[in-house]
Amino acid sequence: MRLPPLHLLQAFAATARQSSISAAARELHLTQGAVSKKILALEGLLGVDLFGRIKGRLVLSPAGLRYLPEVDSALRLLEQATLSVMTLRGRGGVLNLMATPTFGAKWLIPRLPHFMARHPEVFLNFLPYSREAAREAGFDCALLYGNGDWPGMESHYIAGREYAVIAPPHLSADQRIRRPRDVARHVLLHHPAEPEAWARWCALHRVDHPSIRGGPQLDQVTSIVRAVMAGMGLGLVPRCVVQDDIDAGLVCSPFTQDMEGGAGYHFTYPENKQHLPPLASFRDWLLQEASGAP
């Protein structure tokens, strides 16, 4: 099958984006006649009309509407691949990264200016996170929560095994938490990734809670923090993603001793991508940050 030349697809995408051949010509630094010829050539190759006119206005045809998203996607992929190869002759490039929302926002992003200053040759592209996407291989690396065992993936522990109890900062005298047994007077908020966390904490501290699994379940740590701030109950969350909220006085941590857990946030990547130069740079920096090294 013959593929359309790239310059024809670029003319089509620009014309569709601008809804004007003259505007597309200015964008592409071509004459209007040259752009018109490219559109006609592409339509001739495909055997369909990609544009029509309604009351003198240029609009996409039904075939053009179907074709445009695929062309745009292909052009973006080509642009990204070209940038990756050209950047410092292959030593850098684009790194497609996925991260759990809370850890990405609270732990990773505040540290990224240091990485960007040290490695300007690496361009981080954050992909939308979902548990389903985390099981697929459409990314170069990811920061995921779990025990570190993902088939076909290399994994390095970063943070998150230390769990802290968090409470509203201003509780009434009869609701204040001074000892572990005081937790039994409060609603417990749960995260689906750690449904037994509160049961383990209560067993560790010999707390007999009347509804140890009965509290609300929220699917993001940030949602649990907001619920605690609103007075809905107590949270049990990784300290690494809540310490800034504790320091800011948005929530309080009534106990100095955290509960140690087996799971945490890990840096993971497919085994066949471990030698990618931008991934190696990011991994080395990330592990240094996790160790607390200067």
**Exposed, middle or buried by CB within 10 Å (0-12, 13-18, 19+), for 38?**
buried
Confirm whether 248 is domain-assigned. yes
Query: For residues 161 and 148, what is the distance between their CA atoms, to the nearest angstrom?
Result: 12
Please tell me whether residues 182 and 106 are part of one structural domain: no
Q: What values do phi and psi take at 190, rounded to 5?
A: -120, 150
Query: What pLDDT was estimated at residue 81?
Result: 72
Return the bridge partners of 69, or none: none
CB 278 within 8 A of CB 182: no
**Beta strands 93-99 and 122-126, pairing class:** parallel
**C-alpha span between 4 and 12 (Å, rounded):** 11
Task: In whole angstroms, give the CA distance from residue 10 to residue 71.
Answer: 9
How many residues in the chain? Answer: 294
Question: Which positions of the chain have pLDDT values less than 70?
Answer: 1, 83-92, 131-137, 293-294
Per-residue confidence (pLDDT) for residue 152, from 0 to 100: 87
pLDDT value, residue 84: 63
Tokens of 119: 């490695």
The answer to whether 80 and 94 are in contact (CB under 8 A) is yes
Please name the helix (run of DSSP H) or strand (run of DSSP E) that holds residue 126, with its range, or none: strand 122-126
Q: Is residue 244 part of a domain?
A: yes
Looking at the structure, do residues 98 and 47 belong to the same domain, yes or no? no
Q: In terms of domains, do 286 and 208 share one?
A: no
Element (H, E) at 57: strand 57-60
Asked if 223 contacts 282 with a C-beta cutoff of 8 angstroms, the reply is no
CATH number for the domain that contains residue 205: 3.40.190.10
Question: For residues 266 and 134, is the Cβ–Cβ distance under 8 A?
Answer: no
Identify the CATH number of the domain in which residue 17 sits: 1.10.10.10
Q: Does the residue 240 lie in any domain? A: yes
Task: Check residue 94 and give its pLDDT.
Answer: 83
Q: Output DSSP code: residue 192.
A: T
Whether residue 106 sits in one domain with residue 38: no
Q: Which domain holds residue 201?
A: 162-260
Q: Is residue 35 within 8 Å of 41, Cβ to Cβ?
A: no
Distance of CA 35 to CAs 63, 86, 179, Å?
A: 19, 28, 75
Do 113 and 188 lie in one domain? The reply is no
Amino acid identity of residue 117, one-letter, is A
20 lies in some domain: yes
pLDDT value, residue 134: 57
The residue behind tokens 């090294």 is: 293
In a domain, 1, yes or no: no
CA dihedral 130, 136, 139, 145 (to 10 degrees): 50
Q: Could you tell me if 25 and 38 are in contact, meaning their C-beta atoms sit under 8 angstroms apart? A: no
In a domain, 142, yes or no: no
Return the bridge partners of 93, or none.
122
Check whether residue 220 and residue 180 sit in a common domain: yes
Q: Is residue 149 part of a domain?
A: no
Q: 156 lies in a domain?
A: no
Asked if 99 and 80 sit in the same domain, the reply is no
Count of domains forming the chain: 3
Type of residue found at 172:
S
3-state helix, strand, coil in the chain (%, to 5): 45, 20, 35
CA 81 and chain centroid, separation:
20
